[in-house]
Structure 1
């Protein structure tokens, strides 16, 4: 089975019901997997190239009324959707940016220590932050791992080793 994974930007959605309606239409058109979100203004689809074409996908979206696919990005070339994984250790800004970039490329992201990171990613996705947006942002507070490091250093009273965020 030759699988193609596509990221779609869709205009015309006004609520999550719109996204659900588009997903149903895509599944009826032969799409293997469809994850459409109103907040993301689009989503991802996986198609079997032997059964479904890009034209079928576009027609399925547009058959539901005023929805239009305004951009299509191919996420991989025939690999299964589980081919890309990212495990993030830690919870700083770099981990947050890496997780968002990996998500944009269709990877599955795991962050065993990332409760704070997961919340940041969710907020970034909700407000459609791009990697470029994140590069310009600073976290005005310590991350969980920096807080533990700060506490450990404070016990030794060597204040020169404090995190840059604590000065």
Structure 2
């Protein structure tokens, strides 16, 4: 006799355990499964964020501006926000994103509008919206700005 799965095994494993196939991330947005233009994975995104944070906090905040260690976090956050607004708004990617081969794209293609970059950056700096993702690996900050992070 086959053993019934425990009730926790059906919801902890997500919808796929219940037999629902949702497709790959970005499929419903018309993006390719792999390669250029596909949804950037979590590893690349967190790597780029870490690189940008270190550049803004340590290299610029503490190194160049000489920020006090107690205020270096706030100074770094301000520099981080400025970096995102300027670089994503003009080039579509930050230093960390460029190093790891990803960029921010508008859902319709191309770079997002400057006002949407401002909104996305503000929500990213609040952190919580960026931690809540949908099945296309878009955080609330991406959904609000109608953007997605894709591979170059």
Give your verdict on TM over 0.5: no
- Calculate the TM-score normalised by the size of structure 1: 0.22
In terms of fraction of residues, the more helix-rich structure is 2
Q: Which has the higher contact order (CA 8 A, sep 6+)?
A: 2
Between Structure 1 and Structure 2, whose CA radius of gyration is higher? 1
Query: Which has the larger strand fraction?
Result: 1
